[in-house]
Structure 1
């Protein structure tokens, strides 16, 4: 399944922008394939710079997208912003891929699923489209460089240590119980529902893959039951052959159905299950701004004359930050609804 239109909004300003019609896209990006190189999965990006009628073919690995995402989040004001979620890392380790295949298909299966790079390509392609069409990130210079320079950006090591994760969990737990003043921003029920739907649909797909494997096994066993000693056994062979062909047809049918489901509804549910975490992160940042605002308000009320001016400045600053988070959040949630509906049409059409 290939999305019908990967056209994005303008990402950077160029000298040709004045000559362009309003809304003319600057980039078109497709991710047609991914191949394994050593321990990495390399994605091919077909980037078209519309204003210059120039096409580029770039190679990027998953860690490049991870580094880009980190910079986009840290170098832009994400107050009230729902950041498009980064896709999960493809499995490049043969042992991990084999373990996942056995977990899905069963330890006794004779069929091992191959690399699922098609799904990974579609996920990365969708991620880039969402980032490039987002008003907060579309004009980011690092994003433009990422899509126009042959060499991937130099990456620094991202801190994913235990202490970093632990401090994040503690901070989240400390503030997560704070009730928001507006339930409009609360996405708890949506997050629960979409994740449950994604999990259950994946279980359905795995069940279909297993059924396909079982039919293939039965077909193989039936074809091995052959004998030609007399007329009755010859007739039995014909019946067994017909049963075997039927099982093979059923195996192919379920395999195709599962593969199609993975690249349509499966990808949609997976995307928005991850998007639900982005919604919660936006809400968490808004709550942080709310806590700072309320704290500064209380500090202003208790401030003595010598420190009152400084307290007023902090209060006005935190108030403005909270109001900006609220305003952005409302716009983002409305835009998210449009993305959600558009993606339903896109993936169902695929």
Structure 2
């Protein structure tokens, strides 16, 4: 049956990038992993392109920790030094809905299928970013033989400062109506998306639970009785029908997780990145307000330094305004296209799986209709022996 990951990897390819003197990359997270100690490594096929022509092709391996390190470095080393930028963010939401229910059909999907798609979406988003996609951090991640994990440790003072900034920013009104309007809309939208994602996960997990229940039912219907007993034969046919329905529901669960489920996790992470950008902008506006007050109160000996600090703060806010508007437009376009494609993938995968399940069940019905059991005479208590009358 249709594995939804085939649709996702087919449709989730990087867009053609503009001609540049710097190389660009095309990547694919492969259905291949390696376990080393406690770490699971994912293998990535990397193509280096120049003006659209293939220059080099390689295969690298990276762990989840490597991806998280890249995510942190982009957000700390790039985002915090570029006002207005909305950096791609790696989803930290769980990619496996249930761990306690055995996955009897993982062989059809490939192990770590949802993790592969989450990582694939993240890399595609990073590479599609006009600045981060060509940054040295990105190229090093894709070309170095081994990736170095960098951990950032934030002091208690910095964490407390961040908490106060979050509280202050939530009630701060942006002087630019464009940003204030989008901040208010995002607050409502992100809540709606999160509720939808949670509801989608719940109904999706119910499909897997139903699949597991049907698996138990089909097992209970299987009989070890005489293979030519007519009634027992029907029970075995019923078990086959239930087993097929069980597989159909399990496939519906996985298709939902691999298409719309993984996109929603990715989408929520990008909304969080938007909030990060707005919080950094709020901090810059606060610094500008403080710089204005300092400049107004500065005594002649400190007047020049205060004016320079004010000019620097004004420049930072201006860059945040110009870049932020460009980034919001870029993010909205990218996420709208991504959501549209995820819905298409979800519908196509479920439709094809349902069609295949329907055809198999139709064949089972045909077999039952064509089978005519032979019943012994009332005085004959022996087991029927005619193969022609007691077998399908």
Bin for the TM-score computed over the shorter chain:
0.7 to 0.9
Partner of 1:185: 182
The whole-number CA distance in structure 1 between the counterparts of 2:19 and 2:68 is 21
Does structure 1 retain, via aligned residues, the 8 Å contact 2:165–2:283? no
Corresponding residue for 2:25? 27
1:344 to 339, 343, 357: 339
Paired residues of 2:48 and 2:56 also in contact (CA < 8 A): yes
- What's 2:84 paired with? 80
Q: Check the 8 A contact 1:34/1:43 in 2, yes or no.
A: yes
CA positional deviation for 1:166: 5.3
Task: Give the alignment partner of residue 317 of structure 2, picking from 311, 314, 322.
Answer: 322
Residue 42 of structure 1, CA deviation: 0.4
Q: CA shift at 1:57, angstroms?
A: 0.4
Match of 1:101 in 2: 99
Q: For 2:43 and 2:149, locate their aligned partners in 1 and report how far apart those are by CA, in whole Å.
A: 19
Q: Distance in 2 between matches of 1:28 and 1:345?
A: 22
Verify the 8 A CA contact 2:48 2:57 in the aligned structure 1.
Answer: yes
Taking the aligned partners of 2:319 and 2:158, their CA distance within structure 1 comes to 28
Q: Secondary structure at the match of 2:270?
A: helix
Counterpart position of 1:259: 254
Deviates more, 1:194-203 or 1:166-175: 166-175
Partner of residue 196, structure 2: 197
2:125 maps to 1:130: yes
The root-mean-square deviation of aligned C-alpha atoms, in Å, is: 3.0
Does residue 1:118 correspond to 2:121, yes or no? no
Aligned to 2:222: 223
Q: CA deviation at 1:111?
A: 5.8
Q: Which runs of 5+ in 1 are unaligned?
A: 18-24, 92-96
Distance in 1 separating the partners of 2:221 and 2:98? 29
Secondary structure at 1:53 match in 2: strand
Pick from 311, 329, 333: which aligns with 1:334? 329
Q: Which residue of 1 aligns with 2:61?
A: 59
Please state how far the C-alpha of 1:8 moved relative to its aligned partner: 5.4
Q: CA separation of 1:138/1:161 partners in 2, compared to 1, >3 Å: closer, same or farther?
A: same
Is the contact between residue 90 and residue 117 of structure 1 (CA under 8 Å) also seen in structure 2?
Answer: no
- 1: CA distance, partners of 2:103 / 2:47: 40
Question: Alpha carbons of 1:184 and 1:34: their partners in 2 closer, same or farther (altered >3 Å)?
Answer: farther
Contact 1:286-1:325 at 8 Å conserved across structures: yes
- Classify 1:258/1:195 alpha carbon distance in 2 versus 1 (closer, same or farther; 3 Å): same
In 2, Cα distance between the equivalents of 1:85 and 1:157? Answer: 16
1:348 is paired with a residue of what secondary structure?
helix
CA distance in 1, matches of 2:278, 2:204: 32
Aligned-pair CA distance for 1:164: 6.3
Task: List per-residue Cα deviations over 1:6-30 (Å, max 9, x = no partner).
Answer: 335669965xx6xxxxxxx721111
Q: 1:7 maps to what in 2?
A: 14
Partner of 1:68: 70
Are residue 173 (structure 1) and residue 167 (structure 2) matched?
yes
- Contact persistence 2:74–2:87 (CA under 8 A): no
TM-superposition CA deviations, 1:80-107 (whole Å, max 9, x none): 111111133888xxxxx8x9422xx4xx
The residue matched to 2:30 in structure 1 has which SS?
A: strand
Q: Is the 1:223–1:244 contact (alpha carbons within 8 Å) kept by the matching residues of 2?
A: yes
Contact 1:219/1:247, CA 8 A, preserved across alignment: yes
In the alignment, which residue of structure 1 is the partner of 2:368?
A: none
Q: Bigger radius of gyration, 1 or 2? A: 2
How far off its partner does 1:143 sit?
1.6
SS in 2 for 1:57: strand
Q: 155-164 or 69-78: which moved more?
A: 155-164
Distance in 2 (alpha carbons) for counterparts of 1:162 and 1:33? 41
C-alpha distance 227-57 of structure 1, shift in aligned 2 (>3 A): closer
For the structure 1 residues 164 and 227, does the alpha-carbon distance in structure 2 shift closer, same or farther, using more than 3 Å as the test? farther
How far, CA to CA, are the matches of 1:305 and 1:9 in structure 2? 56
Change (3 A) 1:300 1:162: closer
CA distance in 2, matches of 1:124, 1:164: 30
Cα distance, 1:208 vs structure 2: 0.3
